[in-house]
Amino acid sequence: MKKILLMTFEYPTGKIYCGGVGQMVQQSRQALAALGHEVYVLISVDFKKKRPAQLLLPDGRLIHYPDFFSYQKEYPFKFFHVIIQHFVNWTQDLKRLKSHKGKRPEIIYHFHSILRREKDSGFRTFNKFLLNQEKMIQIADRIVCPSRYEYDNFNRYFPYYSGKLSLIENIVNVFAPDKKQIAAIRAAYGIKKNDTIAIYVGRIERAKGAHILIRHLPDILKGRRGVKVFIVGKVLERSLYRKLAAIRKEYPKQVFYIKYIEKRRLFQFYYLSDIYINTSLSESFSLSTYEGGFCRNALLLNRLPVFERFQKGALFFSPANANGDGFLHKLQTLLKNRSLRRRLGKAAHQATNQFLADRDLVQDFSRFIGDTNK
């Protein structure tokens, strides 16, 4: 049995927002525990050692520390056999650990997107994150990549370190429909039998393309009382939220914003939805797209290479185009054509099922780290 530390900036520890990284850390913890390892999760959102930290123990207890120093006194890095970094903090500590003479933990960097690629695409990527990621690539003994798309990108950006790289594709946890809960949601939001429901799940920021959806909401809703739009995610740009709030005020029975929905309940929103919208300008995997596809949503996706798997289950738009290839035209096409939505939803479900059939995170980690139950 190995003592394994997962390091992350987020984790689903309660009724708080948690993105795809935190969910993947949770799935990694479950898979490694199933292999018989003793798994700890260090949750630290900052680079400053005086900020609070949390440690999730193998038995599920969550310990709160006033600062990183207090954590290190009880569980120094040398306590573990393997450290898997899911973020880019504490690189100096890990660098010192690697230079330590004698036995030390293996350092694995499990990245979730290549920040250099995002920077080159014009995103406002903070240099401290970008530089720390590249330090982690240098420090790590081995590196885990989350998708084939980023595997190719990594080899293009960092060919010198390609020998460290392993591909462990992300997985998707799915939940069955709950008829009672779906009926309760319909009643709570006044959803009628013939209404058309669209859902967006992602942070409210330009990087996720939220501005594209928000800008076109009035055109989408005008004259369409049977259309309802759910927007689920954390607000990172207040200016966008103010625009969204103004539209909600004008269409209170058609536009609904929810900051956080527990995953099992979120799936019930997917099941009653007809269209899943992903306007993101950059994705390395997009967990929510697979979730929407699994629940037979017709997918409306930005034209990104990572979405090639959904070619038969989606309409693709170009954010720079206002004509027939633009977002508004493609969404209006889906709203008008029920048979098209059903056909795309069925194809999206098939594509997701095919992907899920090939995924087994326990087997992936067994090959990568080892199985103590053998």
The answer on 251 and 167 residing in a single domain is: no
Q: How many CB atoms are closer than 10 A to CB 293? A: 30
The answer on 258 and 167 residing in a single domain is: no
The answer on 104 and 37 residing in a single domain is: yes
CB 49 within 8 A of CB 68: yes
Q: Count how many domains the chain has.
A: 2
CB 110 within 8 A of CB 134: no
The answer on 227 and 165 residing in a single domain is: no
What pTM, to 2 d.p., does this model score?
Answer: 0.89
CA distance from start to end of the chain: 11
In a domain, 373, yes or no: no
CB 234 within 8 A of CB 200: no
Mark the ranges of the chain whose per-residue pLDDT is less than 50: none
In a domain, 75, yes or no: yes
Rounded-to-integer distance, Cα 87 and Cα 116, Å: 15
Partners of 110 in beta bridges? 144
| Residue 150 C-beta-side C-alpha neighbours within 13 Å | 25
The answer on 225 and 145 residing in a single domain is: no
The CATH number of the domain where 122 resides is what? Answer: 3.40.50.2000
Q: Mind listing the pLDDT tens digit for each residue in 123-139?
A: 777 778 889 999 999 99
Selection from 35, 48, 37, 60 nearest residue 9 by Cα: 48
CB 99 within 8 A of CB 142: no
The answer on 251 and 291 residing in a single domain is: yes
The answer on 199 and 80 residing in a single domain is: no
What is residue 302's predicted lDDT score, i.e. its pLDDT? 93
CB 38 within 8 A of CB 79: no
In a domain, 235, yes or no: yes
What is residue 115's predicted lDDT score, i.e. its pLDDT? 87
What is residue 125's predicted lDDT score, i.e. its pLDDT? 74
Structure tokens at 230: 């759910």
CB 282 within 8 A of CB 265: no
SS (H, E, C) the chain: CCEEEEEECCCCCCCCCCCHHHHHHHHHHHHHHHCCCEEEEEECCCCCCCCCEEEECCCCCEEEECCHHHHHHHCCHHHCCEEEECCCCCHHHHHHHHHCCCCCCEEEEECCCCHHHHHHCCCCCCHHHHHHHHHHHHHCCEEEECCHHHHHHHHHHCHHHHHHEEECCCCCCCCCCCHHHHHHHHHHCCCCCCCEEEEEECCECHHHCHHHHHHHHHHHHCCCCCEEEEEECCECCHHHHHHHHHHHHHCCCCEEEECCCCHHHHHHHHHHCCEEEECCCCCCCCHHHHHHHHCCCEEEEECCHHHHHHCCCEEEECCCCCCCCCHHHHHHHHHHCHHHHHHHHHHHHHHHHHHHHCCCHHHHHHHHCCCCCC
What is residue 327's predicted lDDT score, i.e. its pLDDT? 94
In a domain, 345, yes or no: yes
In a domain, 210, yes or no: yes
Q: At what angle do helices 91-99 and 127-139 cross, to 10 degrees?
A: 20
The answer on 77 and 121 residing in a single domain is: yes
Rounded-to-integer distance, Cα 114 and Cα 111, Å: 7
The answer on 97 and 87 residing in a single domain is: yes
Partners of 132 in beta bridges? none
Range(s) of the domain holding residue 133: 3-171+359-368
Rounded-to-integer distance, Cα 298 and Cα 292, Å: 8
The answer on 210 and 165 residing in a single domain is: no
The answer on 134 and 260 residing in a single domain is: no
The answer on 23 and 74 residing in a single domain is: yes
Token look-up 């693709």 returns 316
